[in-house]
Structure 1
């Protein structure tokens, strides 16, 4: 179940810039414990999926897991051996821009120690620095 949007307005998007901090999605909304990003970066759909699978495997599909990020930015690349020029290239993968302070995953309905170990394992699959945020 690799994440990608069903419908997009524009096929190719400019890279843009990353913001330093996020002031909107910085608190737990659904679960009691979650993963919060410490630094800004770009997370691919494969990273999100790998983290989701490892967290679900560790909590043995008990409780509920929320994914608070969605990869809606297309990453373009040209195939190997193609010369420079001739346009931008086709969609290689999908990614999400992450700002510092953003909540990435949330868990509810699992024992706190088990949830912490699951989120630690999930955080190792992500390419940015994260910390575990608890409501309990």
Structure 2
């Protein structure tokens, strides 16, 4: 069961804006800039932080959730910090030009560099490292393990 919004105002939305040198090339989904929100561990003790920007599909989020659920299994808690709000459309192969925009294929979360994707709490550090390393393997971009900062 993949994540998707219950209802949206518009079924199809635009891909986003490429800035800098990407503007002349075809937009490839790389998200420019750093995350200003959601870039620190807020709920758990340890987190998985994205080191690159891009689209994270609902299927990737679900596979990460299954991995965390199996690893945590009752002794800790996990938090998913991303949600797929963006519908990604595509036209069938070997279709002539024209005939409008394609139908929604999947839902994706727009992830910027530095955004926290998953968090775990109630686990020892080594167990959390192992858990989030397995999740990072399933993500489409590089990620790193981060710990919660001490409150001052």
Q: TM-score, normalised by structure 2?
A: 0.84
Larger CA Rg, structure 1 vs 2: 2
Deviating beyond 6 angstroms after TM superposition, the runs of 4 or more aligned structure 1 residues are: none
- Using the TM superposition, give the Cα deviation of residue 63 of structure 1 relative to its aligned residue in structure 2, in angstroms: 1.4
Matches of 2:42 and 2:148, distance apart in 1: 10
Matches of 2:15 and 2:74, distance apart in 1: 36
- Using the TM superposition, give the Cα deviation of residue 39 of structure 1 relative to its aligned residue in structure 2, in angstroms: 1.0
1:41 maps to what in 2?
54
Contact 2:82–2:117 (Cα < 8 Å) also in 1: yes
Aligned residues: 136
Q: TM-score, normalised by structure 1?
A: 0.93
Matches of 1:11 and 1:59, distance apart in 2: 36
Structure 2: which 5+ runs fail to align?
18-30
- Using the TM superposition, give the Cα deviation of residue 10 of structure 1 relative to its aligned residue in structure 2, in angstroms: 1.0
- Using the TM superposition, give the Cα deviation of residue 118 of structure 1 relative to its aligned residue in structure 2, in angstroms: 0.6
2:5 maps to what in 1?
5
Structure 1: which 5+ runs fail to align?
none
